Amino acid sequence: MAVYKRGYQRYRGELTGRYTRLLALPRFVWPRLIEQRMILIVLIVSLFWPLACIGFIYVSNHSELWSGLGGDLGKFLQIDGKFFRYFMDTQAVMAVILAALAGPGLIAPDLAHNGLPLYFSRPLSRLDYVLARLFTLVALLAMVTLFPAFLLFAMQGGLAGMGWLTQNWRLPFGVFTGFTLHILLVSLVALACSAWVKWRTIAGALVVGFFFILAGVAEMLNNVLEVTWGILLNPAQSLYTVWSAMLGVDAGEGPGAWACVAGLAVLSALLGVVLEKKLRPVEVIS
């Protein structure tokens, strides 16, 4: 065979489906993430608060355990929007810690070792690559947010009856929608930090610092300018306001829920721009 016939030829065989290609990356990444000791420890620690909430729900629905202790205790043991907001606050912190540990290892190694050309030489676009990495992180964060929330509502519905879920339909909607917004935002932050910084340790610290720095900037603006719109620069506080509105709980002074949603949308768009700028394959010719 002539030498020129041994050159590169484009693959012309049958291609797998797009969803199969998207799930190929998470399928190999998930076992590697679960094997990391710190991630496993965070997953275990994140179960403590949901277990405590389950105990609270059990005691709340068995009045014979506390009926003789006074009427004020009955008000304290109410399963309402405040209860689920406290649950969401704690699990949201665990999700940020988990994203700081798992997120930097998703994109930074590919950039550090020039692996993007290898990915993009396959039938995989930049959008597909980002969606695959995003899905990996979303599924991991759902283990400490959405899944425990589902267990709480299942237990409360089983003990209090389906009538409780019918009367309080906004609580499941608010919790699952609020957690979904939080997971997507934290995942975008983790991926953007991983794409911006090639060193995993620094990228992980940047994920946590991202929320603390913006919270400090927002508080400084509110104090110096004597305003409340600085909350829009604090994604954690903005999410808190949105959660409170969906759960029917007072969030305090500051911009409304729709203003906070708009601010979160702008922040998500900026994170998307960072990913779009950084995830570009390059060819080095020496």
Cα→Cα distances 147→50, 124, 141, 164, 168, Å: 10, 30, 9, 20, 19
Q: What is the pTM of this model?
A: 0.86
User: pLDDT (tens digit, 9 = 90+) per residue, 140-187?
Assistant: 999 999 999 999 999 998 888 888 888 888 899 999 999 999 999 999
Helices 200-225 and 81-102, interaxial angle, to 10°? 140
CB neighbour list of residue 38: distance below 8 Å, 6 or more residues apart? 101
pLDDT at 11: 61
Cα distance between residue 84 and residue 152, in whole Å: 9
In tens, the pLDDT along 94-153 reads 999 999 999 888 888 887 777 787 777 777 778 888 888 899 999 999 999 999 999 999
**Percentage of the chain with pLDDT > 70?**
88
Q: How far apart are CA 185 and CA 264, in angstroms?
A: 8
Provide the residue ranges of all domains of the chain, joining segments of one domain with +. Answer: 19-63+72-278
